[in-house]
Structure 1
Amino acid sequence: MSNIRRFCFSCDLKDDPQLIEKYKEYHASGNAWPEITTSIKDAGIVDMEIYLTGNRLFMIMEVDETFDPAKKAAMDATNPKVQEWEKLMDTFQQKLPWAENGQKWLPLEKIFKLDQ
């Protein structure tokens, strides 16, 4: 049986309706660059969803036992296409007000789970 783990993150978009619409276009079904989705899957991420309210993004990642955040960061740092994508996304995204310099996607703290 697979050991799936879930990670949730948040990030803000620049509060500009035109930029938000363009960001949504880049993330619409089939529009993300194939090199990006391949790099995500190669890191052990088995599912990823991004939700939007206002200009706040929420990302939910489900990962398998091979996923290691440090390994993913190292893979991304040496992948020119991922670096190009991240530079492009930086034109739309901004750090959360409480984020430190260099932080973009911040992990969310789970504070509630409905008992089964």
Structure 2
Amino acid sequence: MRRVAQVIRLRPEKADTYRELHRNVPEAVLERLRGSHIANYSIHLLGDLLFSYFEYHGEDLEADLAAIGEDPATQEWWKLTDPCQEPVGQAAPGEWWAPMEQVFLMPEPKAERP
């Protein structure tokens, strides 16, 4: 399993629209995400920063992300959500959601010996 965390800026004037859109994500979009081995996906907001997190359970993240990008339902969804967002300054050229570096992961508790 691979953890993926990303950040993007939310256009302040689009905050209400973005929240409303995410109250009713189309089932076809969710099915495509699940079909691409994505689980535990969430998006959080602080000020004008959107933080997303998901867990990837597949073998080829790039191919699965490409399948999401080629999905007609997802393309229609992005036509609604993309105008609400803009890349952060740290994003690479052409990058939309900027990947974040994991600096800590709580370890599993050590098993006690009987």
TM-score (norm 2): 0.83
Aligned-residue sequence identity (percent) comes to: 28
The partner residue of 1:112 within 97, 104, 109 is: 104
Higher radius of gyration, 1 or 2: 2
8 Å Cα contact 1:45/1:67 also seen in 2:
no
The unaligned stretches of length 5 or more in structure 2 are 110-114
User: Is 1:41 aligned to 2:38, yes or no?
Assistant: no
SS in 2 for 1:91: helix
TM-score (norm 1): 0.82
Alpha-carbon RMSD = 1.7
Q: Using the TM superposition, give the Cα deviation of residue 41 of structure 1 relative to its aligned residue in structure 2, in angstroms.
A: 0.3
The unaligned stretches of length 5 or more in structure 1 are none
Moved over 2 A (4+): 112-116
User: Is 1:20 aligned to 2:15, yes or no?
Assistant: yes
Matches within 5 A, 1:1-116: 4-16=1-13, 19-28=14-23, 31-64=24-57, 66-114=58-106, 116=109
Moved more, 5-14 or 71-80: 71-80
